[in-house]
Chains A and B, each alone.
Chain A
């Protein structure tokens, strides 16, 4: 594992040093079988989303066939068909796109907000710190799902609004983490040196503090992905996420609800997809945490 690095020659450039660091971290991650399984699941999800057409054998997810309603899993339809005769396998495959885009969008919104709030609070301290962290604590104290529900209800159902609703309730932990890191970083000598050279606060924050907070934020984000997927699927299940006929896993479970006692596959299989993907993110997140932040494991 880490022995690979010690026998190598010294890196010739900054970029090479970084790349080698990443390679070492990756090797340590892969050495943990559970994390490797998680990584495989997440990569499979990405591949499924990218090549949904090929993976689904070019069966369109919304193609109805009312003569083939509620067929059990078999050779023609691997996962059976739903109440409109749509192929559940194709819908599960295309559902990966929806899930992945929700997760990615929430991550893209939440991480910068958390970083901005947390690093400013930690760096400026004083009244800025008190005010920002007070707001963070208030949002942290709210029940996430119920609040997301109320937001989604106010903004109207739909994927975009579900993303906004989840993001509004998901950023506070990132602000907490970023603040904790910034408080220690801000005291270090190299920051004092940059200050003496006359760097502006913005430059110090973005060039010298944010990059160092990134790894813990990314680890936390991976661990959070499972929760985000579950919340998004929950909103979809309640009818507040993706709207019909979009193939979204939570909404698909809801569609199979009424027939669950007789046609179990309609609700069960999309739910299994949610379970496997969020398990994958949990395994990967645990592994990443062990690699990047061994103290907390």
Chain B
């Protein structure tokens, strides 16, 4: 019962937030200095054509009415057509989204599998060298412009050392060799056991994913560290040690399970912010994902595409945050009543 009420509360607040997001994208659409009617009919249209189109797209109505029309369209999945690709924006987004998802997922995996152990080590050995290393890596990660890191990475690992493949998601020769099932190249090629494609895709993915993973690692390690320090100060740790538990046994068996719960939220937050941070990385690596789609549309004054992309990234961002908040409450029994 309580669970149900919580779920309803969560969904309600989620709806309000998403509604707010649509209100913002709608207002941005109204801000543009470009006359949306002229964009459709062109400069030479007669007054009567202009007026007809103006009424057709509902610009003669009041702003609240226009918003309701916009909302209805968005809810039915109609984001309008992209001027640049002349496809429905929703189709474009579905086409570009998997690339971003693949990049952000691999980056988050790197962040979790390196960041969590590093954070635990730093917290447990507070003030010793592993702690200092993690703190500095974290500080650098927070201060580094990701697009610059990407360029330096390309220059070093692609240009100088030749360890990885250059920009793009796959070499031209490997295009369309596997059927698109999930849109995730690594998964699609693994299903068909086409390892050539798999390793080619991997050699393109590894650098942008590692750089994004570093940013995620910096955040995850920093948070893990402070959670561990907090737990190690608790009396149950002292009790475990008194009963003969080894130091690392106390850290991993007793402190870590308690850290695991707040970590879920941290990982969720980091995942969501990577989906967004991918915008700049994708531009540097010519990675055909949502970020590249949004920025390219931007320079073609393709407002439908930009706003549709913003709405999708925003909704996913909000959704992941809410989900990690929810998981947090399920996993930690103490929070169920809260």
Interface pair A267/B148, CB less than 8 Å apart: yes
| Residue interface mask A263-278, B partner, CB < 8 A = 1 | 0100110011011001
How many angstroms from the CA of A142 to the CA of B321 in the assembled complex?
10
How many angstroms from the CA of A202 to the CA of B21 in the assembled complex?
32
Interface pair B139/A146, CB less than 8 Å apart: no
Interface pair A253/B32, CB less than 8 Å apart: no
Asked if B129 lies at the interface with its beta carbon under 8 angstroms from chain A, I say no
B151: which of A141, A142, A253 is its contact (CB, 8 Å)?
A: A253
Instruction: List residues 228-244 of chain A with CB under 8 A from any CB of chain B.
Output: 230, 233-234, 237-240
Interface pair A283/B280, CB less than 8 Å apart: no
Interface pair B298/A260, CB less than 8 Å apart: no
Interface pair B151/A233, CB less than 8 Å apart: no
A138: which of B16, B29, B140, B147 is its contact (CB, 8 Å)?
A: B16
Interface pair A142/B314, CB less than 8 Å apart: yes
In the complex, the chain B residue whose C-beta lies closest to that of A276 is B143
Asked if A106 lies at the interface with its beta carbon under 8 angstroms from chain B, I say no
B280: which of A156, A237, A275 is its contact (CB, 8 Å)?
A: A237
Interface pair A138/B307, CB less than 8 Å apart: no
In the complex, the chain B residue whose C-beta lies closest to that of A223 is B142
Known contacts A153-B298, A226-B142, A233-B145; is A146 also within 8 Å of B33 by CB? Answer: no
Asked if A137 lies at the interface with its beta carbon under 8 angstroms from chain B, I say yes
How many angstroms from the CA of A144 to the CA of B32 in the assembled complex?
19
Interface pair B140/A230, CB less than 8 Å apart: no
- Taking CB atoms, residues of chain A closer than 8 Å to B143 are 226, 230, 275, 278-279, 282
Asked if B283 lies at the interface with its beta carbon under 8 angstroms from chain A, I say yes
Known contacts A141-B318, A146-B313, A238-B295; is A279 also within 8 Å of B148 by CB? Answer: no
Asked if A74 lies at the interface with its beta carbon under 8 angstroms from chain B, I say no
Known contacts A134-B16, A145-B276; is A253 also within 8 Å of B24 by CB? Answer: no
- Taking CB atoms, residues of chain B closer than 8 Å to A156 are 33
B310: which of A134, A149, A250, A268 is its contact (CB, 8 Å)?
A: A149
Known contacts A138-B21, A238-B280; is A154 also within 8 Å of B32 by CB? Answer: yes
Instruction: List residues 118-155 of chain A with CB under 8 A from any CB of chain B.
Output: 134-135, 137-139, 141-147, 149-151, 153-155
In the complex, the chain A residue whose C-beta lies closest to that of B152 is A268
| Residue interface mask B248-259, A partner, CB < 8 A = 1 | 000000000000
- Taking CB atoms, residues of chain A closer than 8 Å to B309 are 146
Interface pair A237/B147, CB less than 8 Å apart: yes
Asked if A257 lies at the interface with its beta carbon under 8 angstroms from chain B, I say yes
In the complex, the chain A residue whose C-beta lies closest to that of B226 is A297
Using C-beta atoms within 8 Å of the partner chain, give the interface range for chain B.
35 or more
How many angstroms from the CA of A268 to the CA of B154 in the assembled complex?
11
CB of A162 to closest CB in B, whole Å? 13
Known contacts A154-B28, A260-B155; is A138 also within 8 Å of B276 by CB? Answer: no
How many angstroms from the CA of A205 to the CA of B276 in the assembled complex?
37
Known contacts A145-B279, A264-B155; is A150 also within 8 Å of B148 by CB? Answer: no
Asked if A261 lies at the interface with its beta carbon under 8 angstroms from chain B, I say yes
Interface pair A150/B145, CB less than 8 Å apart: no
Known contacts A238-B283, A260-B151; is A147 also within 8 Å of B24 by CB? Answer: yes
Interface pair B298/A143, CB less than 8 Å apart: no
- Taking CB atoms, residues of chain A closer than 8 Å to B154 are 260-261
CB of A261 to closest CB in B, whole Å? 4
Asked if B317 lies at the interface with its beta carbon under 8 angstroms from chain A, I say yes
Asked if B25 lies at the interface with its beta carbon under 8 angstroms from chain A, I say yes
Instruction: List residues 288-321 of chain B with CB under 8 A from any CB of chain A.
Output: 294-295, 298-299, 303, 306-307, 309-310, 313-314, 317-318, 321
Instruction: List residues 15-42 of chain B with CB under 8 A from any CB of chain A.
Output: 16-17, 20-21, 24-25, 28-29, 31-33
How many angstroms from the CA of A211 to the CA of B275 in the assembled complex?
38
CB of A156 to closest CB in B, whole Å? 6
CB of A58 to closest CB in B, whole Å? 28
- Taking CB atoms, residues of chain B closer than 8 Å to A267 are 148, 151
A253: which of B145, B272, B306 is its contact (CB, 8 Å)?
A: B145
How many angstroms from the CA of A256 to the CA of B33 in the assembled complex?
31
Asked if B117 lies at the interface with its beta carbon under 8 angstroms from chain A, I say no
- Taking CB atoms, residues of chain B closer than 8 Å to A238 are 280, 283, 295, 298
Interface pair A275/B317, CB less than 8 Å apart: no
In the complex, the chain A residue whose C-beta lies closest to that of B148 is A271
- Taking CB atoms, residues of chain B closer than 8 Å to A272 are 148
CB of B185 to closest CB in A, whole Å? 24
Nearest 9 A-B pairs (CB), nearest first? A271-B148, A138-B20, A279-B143, A261-B159, A143-B276, A278-B143, A154-B31, A150-B310, A143-B317
Q: List 14 A-B contacts (CB under 8 A).
A: A138-B17, A142-B318, A143-B273, A253-B148, A257-B151, A260-B151, A260-B155, A261-B154, A264-B155, A267-B148, A274-B145, A279-B143, A282-B139, A283-B139
